[in-house]
Amino acid sequence: MAKLPSPAEPVSELRRVPIRENGEPLVDFIQEYPALYWVPRHPVFDYHRFRLARRGLADRLGAAAAALPPGMRLAIVECWRPLAIQQQMHRETERRMAAEHPQWPPLRLRREVNRFSAPISRQVPPPHSTGGAVDLHLADEQGRMLDHLSPYSLMDPQGALREPPGLSPEAARNRALLREVLESAGLTNYPSEWWHWSYGDQGWAYRGGHPTALYDSVQPEDLDQYELTLTLRADPGFEEPIL
């Protein structure tokens, strides 16, 4: 596999962005904006997901969804994620990539893993743990994912880039539309993952030149009632909605 470009957002740079927590609550974004579509399963991992996002992110997702052409929906894979799940996700990503690339030295393995799964850090909270990050794509009215990938496969790291070479015209159009409505709503995109957008976290502040981030790591009060365990799916991919 060809070596990917250097990470656009190294932890050393994000660490320079101060966080001024603004206290916005976590809200159920589907309850607030029913036009959003909740994807049935995570495409790579199995675990309990939460329909929670910071109020500022939820409002902007609602605005982006309203700006889409008729017949299209914003399909949300995940916004807020517990630190316990993030830690397990990082470890599973490291195991998978180490098995796929045994020739990689430890430094390269760590860099590649951190590009696709944020490590646990007090100075740079994982974006999803702040409630300000979202993984999403476009879907039709029934929730079926539109093409954002061809000719790449879901697990191809080259196809994960914001603008990979050789993207099909249909996939390029869908990514461009997604980018248009989300940027207009005030979100910014992590360039190593076309599906990962955020508002209020350190990545958002770094990309947009904002002096501070708005959100620190946060969790709901009732988190201890949930089982927070994760497994790697044997069949990575997006599940079709039941029509």
Please report the pLDDT score of residue 242 as a whole number: 60
* Domain presence at residue 116: yes
Which of 140, 133, 116 shows the shortest CA–CA distance to 77? 133
* Domain presence at residue 5: no
Tokens matching residue 48: 């309990």
* Domain presence at residue 98: yes
- Mean pLDDT, each 10-residue run in order, the chain (243 residues): 52 94 98 97 96 98 98 98 96 91 91 85 94 98 97 93 95 98 98 96 96 97 94 88 65
CB of 87 within 8 A of CB of 117?
no
* Domain presence at residue 192: yes
d(CA 178, CA 184) in angstroms, rounded, equals: 10
* Domain presence at residue 241: no
Please report the pLDDT score of residue 70 as a whole number: 97
Q: What is the CATH number of the domain that holds 175?
A: 3.30.1380.10
Taking the CA atoms of residue 9, residue 12, residue 17 and residue 18 in that order, the dihedral angle to the nearest 10 degrees is 140
* Domain presence at residue 239: no
Domain limits for position 188: 11-232
CB of 162 within 8 A of CB of 191?
yes
Please report the pLDDT score of residue 115 as a whole number: 82
**CA-to-CA dists, residue 221 to 53, 218, 225, angstroms:** 14, 10, 10
Predicted model pTM: 0.93
* Domain presence at residue 110: yes
Alpha helix segments (H runs only) across the chain: 11-14, 29-32, 55-66, 83-100, 106-116, 157-160, 169-184, 202-208
The domain total for the chain is 1
* Domain presence at residue 224: yes
d(CA 198, CA 128) in angstroms, rounded, equals: 9
Q: What angle do CA 223, 45, 186 make, to 5 degrees?
A: 70
Please report the pLDDT score of residue 2 as a whole number: 37
Please report the pLDDT score of residue 131 as a whole number: 98
